[in-house]
Amino acid sequence: MVMERLGIDLQKISGQNGTFKKSTVLQLGIRMLDVLEYIHENEYVHGDIKAANLLLGYKNPDRVYLADYGLSYRYCPNGNHKQYQENPRKGHNGTIEFTSLDAHKGVALSRRSDVEILGYCMLRWLCGKLPWEQNLKDPVAVQTAKTNLLDELPQSVLKWAPSGSSCCEIAQFLVCAHSLAYDEKPNYQALKKILNPHGIPLGPLDFSTKGQSINVHAPNSQKVDSQKAATKQVNKAHNRLIEKKVHRERSAESCATWKEVQKEEKLTGLMNNEAAQESTRRRQKYQESQEPLNEVNSKISYTQFPNSFYERHQDFTSPDIFKKSRSPSWYKYTSTVSTGITDLESSTGLWPTTSQFTLSEETNADVYYCINILVLLMLVFLALFFL
């Protein structure tokens, strides 16, 4: 909740000077009647009017504010006024010095209570004391003294007037307050007229007394400026501390980030090194596994066939084909068919191969006929397939 900034309270001012001027006291009473009328119209009473609860405006000291609503009471909820009922267990409620007779008796506060309390306050501000101030520790004695004061009006108040002044306005004010019924609405305009019978416009509040004056019309700009400067310095120092803290946090974060990056790079380098070493090991294993094969391949040599094996194919359709030699020069013709299998001439001796075949002339002719027949069948098959 945001509230307007207020100035000094009247308790501090009265504590310095003891009393106020009569004109100031009457002006304060008129201003408080305006406040009470507004509160009462909204079905509430204040119940604790005193100098400590009256504050001057911070920028306009001629305005008076009523504060502290801790004892405020809704006397007329929904237009139904509370009934008069005394309750001794709730007696003497409020500030004992200024509270009303109804509060002493434990009766719920009403509008006449506020008016009565305001009358006691004005008497204290003008005279500097009250008849019961010596017995404040005894609430019953205070109640009796207030009862005697109200019963003996106006003489009981007039005799308290300071020398050279009169309390007739305050005495008449208390007479009107004491004559009010419990649920009666006060005549605020009549009460104001009692305090200002000539209708003089209200002027600035004057709290000076007998050569003493208090400047409440303008705040001390130098003090305010010094407070602002001090506040500004405190804010700057606070901001610097925050900046240093943020800088340290950022530095710590950057260091941590750099360390993490270094860790990642180190891990990446280790992984790359491991991968390179693994590939190197695999290549070495592969080379080692290939060495025996290379040695075997280098040692293997096939039997060299005669050059006549690579001669051009003979024309099997020629009629003289069978008159010529039908086999390469490396065939040996014998009357019997025999197959000889020898080892390779190489030193390894790993791969056996067929080196020589010996066939008879008739067998050789049969083989060539079979080959011709197979070739012709293949040609016919290919022709049928592509057609």
Please give the positions annotated as active site.
48
Of the candidates 102, 109, 50, which has an alpha carbon nearest to the alpha carbon of residue 74?
109
Which SS3 state, helix, strand or coil, does residue 210 take? coil
Cis status, amide bond into 154, omega within 30 of 0:
yes
Three-state DSSP at 213 gives: coil
Pairwise CA distance, residues 172 & 157, whole Å:
9
CA atoms within 13 A on the CB side of 128: 12
Centre a 10 Å sphere on the Cβ of residue 18 and count the other Cβ atoms it contains: 13
Please answer whether residues 94 and 88 qualify as being in contact, where contact means their C-beta atoms are separated by less than 8 angstroms.
Answer: no
List the structure tokens of 308. 């006549």
How many Cβ atoms are within 10 Å of 113's Cβ, its own excluded? 26
In sequence order, the 6+-apart residues with CB closer than 8 A to the CB of 329 are 306, 308
- Which two structure tokens, joined as six digits, stand for 118? 């305001």
- Which H helix or E strand runs over 355? strand 353-358
The residues, any chain, with a CB within 8 Å of residue 193's CB and separated by 6 or more, are 199
For residues 123 and 166, give the distance between their C-alpha atoms in angstroms, rounded to a whole number.
11
Q: How many CB atoms lie within 10 A of CB 103?
A: 26
The number of residues in the chain equals: 387
339 forms beta bridges with 357
